[in-house]
Amino acid sequence: MRHFSGLTDSDLKTFFKYYPAEFNRDTERETLGLALGAALYTPGSRVDFAQKIVSGDYSSGAFSGLTTLIVCLEDAVADTELETAEQNVIGEFKKLAKANAEQLAAGPALFLRIRTPEQLEKLIKQAGHALSVLTGIVFPKCLPATLPLFFEALDRASEAAGRGLYALPLLETKEVLYSESREQTLAELHEIMKSEAYRVLTVRVGATDFSSLYGLRRPAERTIYDVHIIRDCLTAILNRFNRAEDGFTVSGPVYEHFSGGERLWLSSKPEQTLWEEVQLDVLNGFKGKTCIHPSQISIVNAGHIVSLETFEDAKLILNQSSKRNGVLQSPKRNKMNEVKPHLSWAKKIAAQAEVYGVLNENYQQIDVLNHIRANQLSNQY
């Protein structure tokens, strides 16, 4: 896999000074967690997701650029349909387990969102080795009392799969949101995850669940950062889990509005707001984002491309860090680079640049985004 794989070699040469690197589900943990990018959810009741993966449908057309697919057995499936959805997921995983390995490798990394550890135990018994098609499991509504149980079930799922599966803990409960319990809950969750850090791929957050606890829902023209009570909780999560020394990747929350059919990116209010929110996500330390519609994929991923100026600043700091410290004049002669305080930032920028690429001078993220949309439109006619 590689981000922006739908671009031609000529396109890549036009827009990128350094191309996005290839990766797969066996890529080392910190790089893979960063590379998940736009993580698209699909209901476990969808009957054709195995065929769509094998045929390449999830890697082209409206889904071009998708590297992460999460099959959901939790909120995306009604309680009355759960058993049918579970059987569907098991059947689809078994189809994928029989598919050509090269076809699977060309498609998105596959994850499963479950409801409870007990549900995962049930799926282990029925799916067995077919769980090997997964890269990891999303643990919903994580609390200090339940998270160890999820990890214990993950042990058995990994054993059945014949490969180590990653954990993607999801923080979305009232104990994390409410101020009187937040700090203790986050501290306890952090302690548990630190002990399991080698298999925590990303920490994820559920802004929709948080909002529901206060009867809130943001309109299309507002980012999640405008909802102050949710913003404060997201800040607390980043404060606890995004510390440079811990090595966790924290993924941004879903934006639940979308639109389709516009001729240019950002020509509708939902796309404009999503673009703004992605910029704020990256600025605050989130990497990647949960998505619920294919039109969101390229917007999220393009928002992670690194500008040449940013990359050159980071490269200068990294190159000088073993030789000297103090203040360095930026290559553009427009800012101060300090080796000691900016070093951890520079390391993160270098990792992001490897995964998402570095733009040529005088190009911006929106230029890549508009070119992708133009290609999609031309393929429709």
Q: Which tens digits make up the pLDDT trace of 321-330?
A: 877 778 888 8
Once rounded to an integer, what is the mean pLDDT over residues 328-353?
90
- Helix, coil or strand: residue 290: strand
- What is the spatial distance between Cα 366 and Cα 326, in angstroms, rounded to a whole number? 35
- pLDDT of 258-309, one tens digit each? 886 566 667 789 999 999 999 999 999 999 999 999 999 999 999 999 999 9
Please give the backbone phi and psi of residue 322, each rounded to the nearest 5 degrees, phi first: -90, -5
- What is the spatial distance between Cα 139 and Cα 72, in angstroms, rounded to a whole number? 11
pLDDT score at 346:
95
Q: Which residue has the tokens 């079930």?
A: 153
Q: Cα 348 to chain center, whole Å?
A: 16
The bridge status of strand 38-43 relative to strand 166-171 is unpaired
Residue 356: partners with Cβ closer than 8 Å, 6 or more residues away: 3, 20, 37, 301, 304, 305, 306
Name the CA dihedral angle for 27, 254, 360, 354, rounded to a multiple of 10 degrees.
-10
Q: With residue 13 as reference, give the H or E element that holds it.
A: helix 9-15
Q: Which residue has the tokens 């000074």?
A: 17
Residue 323: partners with Cβ closer than 8 Å, 6 or more residues away: none
Calculate ∠ Cα 310-312-317, nearest 5°. 100
pLDDT at 223 over 90: yes
Higher pLDDT, 335 or 21: 21
For 92-160, the DSSP string reads HHHHHHTS-HHHHHHS-EEEEE-S-HHHHHHHHHHHGGGGGG-SEEEE-S--TTTHHHHHHHHHHHHHH
**Confidence at 344, pLDDT banded by 50, 70, 90:** very high
Q: Strand ranges (DSSP E) for the chain?
A: 16-18, 38-43, 68-72, 109-113, 136-139, 166-171, 203-205, 250-251, 289-291, 327-329, 336-338, 358-359
Structure tokens that stand for 50 in this block: 């195995």
* Total-model pTM: 0.95
Calculate ∠ Cα 150-152-156, nearest 5°. 110
pLDDT score at 380:
60
Q: Which residue has the tokens 């410290």?
A: 325
Distances in Å between the Cα of 284 and the Cα atoms of 92, 212, 373 are: 38, 23, 27
Q: Produce one character per residue of 304-342: b if its CB has 16 or more CB atoms within 10 Å, e if not.
A: bbbbbbbbbbbbbbbebeeeeeeebeeeeeeeebebeeb
To the nearest whole number, what is the mean pLDDT of the chain?
A: 94
Calculate ∠ Cα 159-75-216, nearest 5°. 135
Residue 79: partners with Cβ closer than 8 Å, 6 or more residues away: none
Percentage of the chain surpassing pLDDT 70?
Answer: 98
Q: Cα 182 to chain center, whole Å?
A: 24
Once rounded to an integer, what is the mean pLDDT over residues 27-50?
96
Reference 357, options 34, 30, 24; nearest CA is: 34
- Helix, coil or strand: residue 372: helix
- pLDDT of 348-373, one tens digit each? 999 999 999 999 999 999 999 999 98
Residue 219: partners with Cβ closer than 8 Å, 6 or more residues away: none
